[in-house]
Amino acid sequence: MPPIHLFHGGLISPVSIHEAQYLERALLAVSSEGVIEWIEHDVDPTLIQDVALKHGLELDSSVEIYELKHGEWLMPGFVDTHTHAPQFPNIGIGGQYELLKWLENVTFPTESRFSDLEFARSVYTTVIDRVLSFGTTTCCYYGTLHLEATKLLADIISQKGQRAFVGKCNMNRESPSYQEASSEQSVADTQTLISYIRSLSPSNPLVHPILTPRFAISCTSELLKALGKIAQSDPTLAIQTHISENKSEIAYTLELFKNYPGCTSYAGVYKEHGLLSDRTILAHAVHLTEEELNMVKECEAGVSHCPTSNFYLNSGVCKVGDMLDRGIKVGLGTDCSGGFSPSIINAVRDAVIASKVIAMSSPSSDTSALANRTLPLATLLHLSTLGGAQLCNLSTEIGSLEPGKQFDAILVNVRGEAGNGSVWAGEKDSLSVMLEKFFMGGDDRNIRRVWVRGRLVSGVDA
């Protein structure tokens, strides 16, 4: 049986888009099932045993105790709401292209190689190790169009203990050298994958299937309708796709669907085909119109903000503050390899820069709103953790450190021994100051341990 964990020291957790919790001397207990049992605030080190006994916990050999120093803290694991596992070999190349040419010249040729299962195994094993090392405890993965390779991806994630959503790309047009033979085959393979992933852990699973129409351009109306029917017949099934990433993409989408009723906007295409709901994760959403923003809000769908990719592929700057003010769910995505880093910390930095770009071009004096302002620290913490959990409909289970939630968490160290010269933990720095330093200068060297449902799965000291 896994040990009971008891942590004493710094704890950081999101409360809302405007508020974060900072506890300097928290005492947190995690059961052997990986659930947070209780949290006490401001516990003197000399009283740890007394407080534990008050909760019926004897500090014997079954309890693993962590006493954190100044410059160390616990926080929720990161949630990456959008990335492409097969694209990691391409990280850092293709910056000369915008989206559609980048797909044609860089992405699709690499993804087509995943018909080779040995190649797929080699890549996917490394991908999951790397993503976990950056503190990402939950990740939404796009696979390729290959059924067997995507089953393998789910296997590897399950073995390594990450929480994830895994989807096989549905794409049956507009890429003759890399597309599925028919909508019927695409749907059949999707249904096979859904059943397969659910068989990996029939009760209390960490890995979930997710419908993955790549984007509207790559799917015929027939295929989108069939996927919409699957979604409507299964209220537990999540959906992930791309929307309004690039202006050329938008124009081409509207041209392809101009003769279909209700498809007068990109969001309208998904709504008309039954794919816009409270379970839908829309990546990018850079150029949504007012009508589309209202549609997304009304359908209770949400947005994966991918600022690194949006900059790197010259797509644009997403107005995330405005979306949050409207009550739209938003999380962060790394979008590798459009994004050049698998780290949510990097996405946090680029989210700050994106918000500053908007604030410089259209400044706002309304301090009660997030639109047209630099995103504050509490909002960045929310986007990287609880916001992503809300987008994945997992916020009752993960995303913050609270009693009753599962212990998906990271132990951060910004002390000198971490070996990262970009982060300086001053002797009198508060937790909020150190969190900001970590977000702006931290990397995987500062992530010492990573737990998913109480299981240690990664980290420098794992």
Model confidence at 69: pLDDT above 90: yes
CA angle, 227 then 319 then 139, to 5°: 50
State the pLDDT confidence band at 241, using cuts at 50, 70 and 90: very high
Q: Judging by DSSP bridges, how do beta strands 163-167 and 207-211 pair with one another?
A: parallel
The Cα 133–Cα 131 span in angstroms is 5
pLDDT at 47: 98
What letters, b where the CB count within 10 A reaches 16 and e where it falls short, cover 40-77? Answer: beebeeeebeebbeeeebeeeeebeeeebebbbbbbbb
Comparing C-alpha atoms, which of 213, 271, 277 is closest to residue 241?
213
CA distance 187 to 206: 24
Separation between Cα atoms, residue 167 and residue 154, nearest integer Å: 9
Q: Is the pLDDT of residue 371 over 80?
A: yes
Three-class secondary structure of residue 406 per DSSP: strand
Contacts of 70 (CB under 8 A, 6+ apart): 10, 415, 425, 427
What mean pLDDT is reported for the chain? 98
The mean pLDDT of 351-366, rounded to a whole number, is 95
pLDDT level of residue 3 (50, 70, 90 thresholds)? confident
pLDDT in tens, 402-419: 999 999 999 999 999 999
Mean pLDDT computed over 284-313: 99
Nearest to 124 by CA among 78, 95, 164: 164
pLDDT at residue 91 is higher than 90: yes
pLDDT at res. 2? 72
**Residue 127, pLDDT above cutoff 70:** yes
Q: Where are the beta strands (DSSP E) in 273-370?
A: 280-284, 302-305, 329-332
All CATH 2.30.40.10 domain ranges of the chain, comma separated, are 4-76+401-458
CATH topology of domain 78-391: TIM Barrel (3.20.20)
| 1 pLDDT higher than 70 | no
Six-digit token string for 433: 């100051």
Which H or E run includes 92? none
pLDDT of residue 409: 99
Query: Does residue 150 surpass a pLDDT of 70?
Result: yes
Residue 184 predicted with pLDDT over 90: yes
Q: Kindly tell me if the per-residue pLDDT of 26 is higher than 90.
A: yes
Q: Where in the chain is the domain with CATH 3.20.20.140?
A: 78-391
- Residue 284: CB atoms within 10 Å: 30
pTM for the model: 0.98
368 vs 48, residue with greater confidence:
48
The CATH H-level superfamily of 4-76+401-458 is Urease, subunit C, domain 1 (2.30.40.10)
Mean pLDDT of 251-278: 98
Three-state SS at 72: strand
**Which secondary-structure segment (H or E) carries 224?**
helix 221-233
